[in-house]
Amino acid sequence: MIYVKRSAGLIPPDLLNSAMVAEQQLERLPPEQRADFIRAHSHIWRAFKRYLSEMSYGKCWYSESPEAQSHLDVDHFRPKLEARRSENFCDKPGYEWLAFSWDNFRLSAQLSNRPVRNEETDATEGKGSWFPLVEGSPKACWDDRCVGREQPMLLDPANLDDVRLIEVQADGRMGPSKFCLGTDRKRVQTSIVRLGLDLPRLKEARLRVMRHVGELCEALGELIEAGSDDEGFADKAPTKRLMKALRDKTHPCEPYAAAARAQLRAMALDQLCIAPEEV
């Protein structure tokens, strides 16, 4: 998971307006008609897919999987029709008033968005309608839309503070970063399961990136060592090209850039990671 910077400027005004009109129509409906209205207008949020994809360079906002390798859904971060808080409790309705709010949309690979069995653990993972809250958190509803005071258990890729809590581990799995303490560690573990972040094929994809980055780092190290006492060799060596290749691996447009960044940190070369101001 890496931070996704959202931009309303990428979305056509006509599409934003159609979503706003649907919101206004929904507001005027009695409670018993809202769910059917939302289902009948699913084409509105699906129309945002292209523009959400542009914001994340064609990658799932949760897993960093590229669109070419994964069917992507427009996920409602706060579920629209029901919100499952635990195995035994589900709030119905969910966050109906956010059904057409593009602020609530996240682009998600189907393996992150839909329930799926983890082949390694045999557990069911995937977000579905899951949206647990930290114990004691306020809970928003139609009559009290206090989403700004809610404390979700799931990490949000559109929230930079959340993204800083999670990182790729040496074995390709996701885990808490050094900045993650207390309740945030539970949030990371919950997010890993509910967003399907450690499914076997996803873990293997990260490891492939990490191995490639490791090989490039070793080659770079050999060039630096060989050129340290030989100015002629140093001038001809493709050192800068290798450094650029490593930096490019950490760009947000690259699949599993978080894995590339983690490998560079592990090899004490994190200065080669692309800085936020360079994107």
Whether 73 contacts 108, CB under 8 Å: yes
Helices (H), the chain: 13-27, 31-40, 42-46, 49-55, 110-113, 160-163, 183-194, 200-227, 231-236, 239-249, 257-266
Give yes or no for a contact between 55 and 3, defined as CB atoms under 8 angstroms apart: no
How many domains in the chain? 2
**φ, ψ dihedrals at 87, nearest 5°:** -60, -25
Cα separation, 123 vs 243, in Å, equals 41
223 & 134 share domain: no
- One domain for residues 46 and 106: yes
Place of tokens 């006509």: 14
Does one domain contain both 191 and 224?
Answer: no
Model's pTM, two decimal places? Answer: 0.89
Which structural domain, as residue segments, surrounds residue 273?
201-278
Question: Residue 271: phi, psi to the nearest 5?
Answer: -70, -15
- Are 185 and 212 in a shared domain? no
Please indicate, yes or no, if residue 170 is contained in any of the structural domains.
no
- Note whether residue 163 is domain-resident: no
Instruction: Please check whether residue 169 lies inside any domain of the structure.
Output: no
Are 88 and 214 in the same domain?
no
Digits of tens for pLDDT over the chain (279 positions)?
A: 889 999 999 999 999 999 999 999 999 999 999 999 999 999 999 999 999 999 999 999 999 999 766 678 999 999 999 999 998 999 999 999 999 999 999 999 988 887 666 666 666 667 889 999 999 999 999 999 999 999 999 999 999 999 999 999 999 999 999 999 999 999 999 999 999 999 899 999 999 999 999 999 998 888 887 777 777 766 777 888 899 999 999 999 999 999 999 999 999 999 999 876 566
Backbone angles phi, psi at 167, to 5 degrees: -155, 165
Residue 274 within a domain: yes
Distances (CA, A) of 263 to 129, 179, 218: 33, 18, 12
Residue-wise over 134-154: b if at least 16 C-beta within 10 A, else e? eeeeeebeeeeeebeebebbb
Whether residue 164 lies inside any domain: the answer is: no
Beta carbons within 10 angstroms of residue 111's beta carbon: 23
- Look at residue 100 and tell me if it is in a domain: yes
